[in-house]
Structure 1
Amino acid sequence: MVISQARHGGFTLIELMIGVAIMALLLLAAAPFTMDWVDSARQMRARSNLIEAVGQARALAMRNPEAVSSGVAVAAVLYQPGQSALCVVTRESGAWLASTCLADGKSCADKDTGKAAAGVSWLGCISSPGNSLAMKVADVDFLCAAYDSRGRQLDTTDLVASACVSPDSASVSITAGSQEGVDVSLL
């Protein structure tokens, strides 16, 4: 009597478990790199939005639609850290048209187009900012920067509770997670 031994192909359970263990180790090793990549993307999005906001504010200030005299703030960039919103507001008849970026009850997460507060000429929302995004000027939170009709940065105290960034502060440092700060010029 001849007993045939058929050879079956495939992997043993031990081989499969070793393969799964190797994949798990690779995923664990890649996780910190992924977080750095995500933080870097958040930082670059915030940088791009701030550069755009400064450009919009300076352009609007130099157009000077209200013919405000030189040396008086015409337009300003506002930042709302809790909402991750940047906006450009203008002055009309001696008063700022808005002191906040978003309309009451609105957030950057809203999909509708009516989320900007009245008087906001440009609104930029930093998508997916995470908990670690920070914009600072000399270790103080950045809230606003104001510009006159020549596009020069001014110090003003009538826009937000604390004074806007002084002209001596030429840049905002943006950090996210463990990323080094990236400076954005306000000039």
Structure 2
Amino acid sequence: MTGRKGEASGFSLIELMVTLTVLAFLILLSTPLTRAWVQSAHQRSAYGMLIEALGRAKALSLRNAAGQTDQTLPVAAACLIGSDARVVVPVGTSLSCAAGIVWSSTLPEDAKVTLATGGGALSCVAYNERGLALDATVGGLHCTPAPNNGQQAIINVIVGNENALTVSIP
């Protein structure tokens, strides 16, 4: 194709190669940034779901629909089974993470929820009718112990290389 003065118009092969090289370099640079952004979004999502589960379980325990008066027995619990967060209430006289589900949500697959002390995995948090966390067993799962010496138990939410987000058990 020729231009006004007989010159070729369009892009030369060199110009196209330089443009493609610069574009490939920019994509290469943006990949780690995108991965970090996705990990941060997953971590914040898991953090929010965990806060919601703990808050709902505590609110249900304070409502005490079962009329429980024994402070050593759980009235509601927030359970974490795999990546499934659940809030459960007793069915009849027993409390299980598999029955009496009043709320559930799925955490991002790459989220790890651990206890800050000991680093063990979080399985559940049980509350009595006063909304206090109990050292209890719910459906075969040992729940996070109640705070000791006035210190609240801390939960870490970790995704990839992100710094842990901490949640205090209410």
Q: 1:112-131 alignment to 2 at 5 Å?
A: 118-126=99-107, 129-130=108-109
Q: 1:24-103 alignment to 2 at 5 Å?
A: 24-69=24-69, 70-81=71-82, 84-96=83-95, 98-100=96-98
Count of residues in Structure 1 that have an aligned counterpart in Structure 2: 160
Instruction: Tell me how far apart the structure 2 counterparts of residues 184 and 155 of structure 1 sit (CA, whole Å).
Output: 18
Instruction: Tell me how far apart the structure 2 counterparts of residues 154 and 40 of structure 1 sit (CA, whole Å).
Output: 31
1:140 pairs with 2:102: no
Structure 1 residue 67: deviation in Å? 1.1
SS of residue in 2 equivalent to 1:141: coil
Instruction: Tell me how far apart the structure 1 counterparts of residues 42 and 5 of structure 2 sit (CA, whole Å).
Output: 61
SS of residue in 1 equivalent to 2:37: helix
1:178 pairs with 2:161: yes
Give me the CA root mean square deviation.
1.7
Structure 1 residue 49: deviation in Å? 0.6
Runs of 4+ with >6 A deviation: none
Alpha carbons 1:71, 1:148 under 8 Å: kept:
yes
Instruction: Tell me how far apart the structure 2 counterparts of residues 22 and 42 of structure 1 sit (CA, whole Å).
Output: 31
Alpha carbons 2:155, 2:168 under 8 Å: kept:
yes
Instruction: Tell me how far apart the structure 2 counterparts of residues 124 and 133 of structure 1 sit (CA, whole Å).
Output: 13
Alpha carbons 2:124, 2:141 under 8 Å: kept:
no
Structure 1 residue 160: deviation in Å? 4.2
The letter of the residue matching 1:134 is K
Structure 2, unaligned stretches of length 5 or more? none
Structure 1, unaligned stretches of length 5 or more? 101-117
Residue-by-residue CA offset, 1:101-158 (whole Å, 9 max, x unaligned): xxxxxxxxxxxxxxxxx410111122xx24x31000031011100001111100102x
Structure 1 residue 172: deviation in Å? 1.1
Of 167-176 and 48-57, the range deviating more from structure 2 = 167-176
Structure 1 residue 71: deviation in Å? 3.0
Report the TM-score when normalising by structure 2: 0.87
